[in-house]
Amino acid sequence: MDRSEWGTGTQDRVDALRVIVASDDAAALASVAKAVGIVGGRIVAEVPLDQIGARLGDQIAIDLVALEFAGASPRVVDRAIDQLLTSELGADIEDEGGGVPVIAAIDVAQIDAVSARLHGRNVQLLCAPSLAERTAAIVHVREMRGGAALSDLTRESEYERLKRLDEDVARIADALARLTGRDPAGGRDQNGQPPGATLHEAPLRYGAPPAVPATNDLALAGKVRTAIKARRMRDQFFEPGLFADPAWDMLLDLFAARLEHARVSVSSLCIAAAVPPTTALRWISTLSEAGLIEREADPLDKRRAFIGLSEGASAGMRGYVAAVERAGLAMG
């Protein structure tokens, strides 16, 4: 493939973003190459997924690792993640700002398995990404790498950073649509589920039986669920994109699940957010960094993690509900 059409002179630029791509799929590899070229980056190595560890060990300097997991078997995915996390470059990925930046492309069925093991400020998970989403993710890595851009980012809130990233996706999609003559939306289904659907995991079969929710907690959970349903009804009368910020919907859903003593997987929370999975995954990372939600590893399956409200967030939600009820207002 001639990558020059997607980037001008990137191979000669010494300051170009250096990218290693691990993929077993030629089409996915081509899509990554286009996105890297658009940003002005440089692919320094292309390797199969099961060889990412060896390649990272040989690499002196790297700015980004792109992993193409979509369609790969669980065994291949697990092995690639093992190699990444045990490499010198990837050992500190879960630390705040540590490790080499990673962009992992996944499909919906892989959300739980990959997000349970790959998460942190330097990890971006893209679910069935478009070219625009890939490009925006790489732009974010490039900005974090640049000193001036980094100082700008430290002054803006996580909310502002995510809104700006979403705007970048829309802008890049529009530009690509004009170049290719295609509809920027592409008619993509967001997540294959009806808006507002909630899926909670059954309690684990081993260990002590789950605590039974108190009657007042169940009543409060019912009110929260009603509020969620009412918020979803907006989509019948307005464009869903007008209400694309899923943070509050996620907190409401997790609060109801806590009251019900239900456990929520990452994929379930993505569905409940009623936004594209990639957007939901970005907000899960942001809420985690803000200390509002916490991950709990499944003791029986390392490829799954549950998401719950932190104690502080739970107290805040209870305070909010109490304040709303004292004021005689409807929860929203």
CA gap 68, 129 in Å, rounded: 11
pLDDT of 9:
43
Q: What's phi and psi for 51, nearest 5 deg?
A: -120, 10
How many of the other CB atoms lie within 10 Å of CB of 52?
25
Strands 64-68 and 18-23, by their bridges, are parallel
Tell me the C-alpha distance between 272 and 114, whole Å.
Answer: 19
Q: Are strands 305-309 and 264-265 parallel, antiparallel or unpaired?
A: antiparallel
b/e burial code for range 260-294 (CB count within 10 A of at least 16 → b): bbbbbbbbbbbbbbbbbbbbbbbbbbbbbeeebbb
Please tell me whether the overall predicted TM-score, pTM, comes out greater than 0.95 for this model: no
- Close Cβ partners of 191 (under 8 Å, ≥ 6 residues apart): 108, 270, 271, 276, 277
Q: What is the pLDDT of residue 88?
A: 84
Which residue is associated with the tokens 């005689």?
328
Q: What is the CATH number of domain 215-327?
A: 1.10.10.10
Structure tokens at 116: 């349970």
Superfamily classification of domain 18-145: Response regulator (3.40.50.2300)
pLDDT in the model for residue 161:
57
Helix (H, G, I), strand (E, B) or coil at 2: coil
Write out pLDDT tens, residues 5-59. Answer: 344 444 445 578 999 999 999 999 999 999 999 999 999 999 999 999 999 888 7
Residue 153's pLDDT is 40
Please give the structure tokens belonging to residue 260: 């019900």
Q: Report pLDDT for 169.
A: 57
Give the dihedral of Cα atoms 113, 298, 196, 288; nearest 10 deg.
-90
User: Around Cβ 155, how many Cβ atoms within 10 Å?
Assistant: 7
Cα–Cα distances in angstroms (integers) from residue 178 to residues 112, 136, 183, 241, 272, in the given order: 35, 17, 9, 21, 33
Q: How far apart are CA 79 and CA 113, in angstroms?
A: 12
Local structure of residue 260 (DSSP, 8 states): T
The DSSP code sequence of 285-313 is HHHHHTTSEEEEE-TT-TT-EEEEE-HHH
Which of 231, 183, 220 is closest to 314 using CA atoms?
Answer: 220
Q: pLDDT averaged over consecutive 10-residue blocks of the chain (332 residues)?
A: 40 74 96 94 96 87 94 96 89 69 96 94 94 93 65 46 59 54 44 39 40 70 85 69 77 94 95 90 91 91 91 92 86 78
* Nearest CA-CA partner of 161 in 181, 144, 182: 144
Residue spans per domain, the chain: 18-145, 215-327
Q: What share of the chain is helix, strand, coil (3-state, %, to 5)?
A: 50, 10, 35
- Say what the pLDDT of residue 27 is: 95
pLDDT score for 299: 86
pLDDT for 15: 72
| Residue 314 phi, psi dihedral angles, 5° rounding | -60, -45
pLDDT at 209: 44
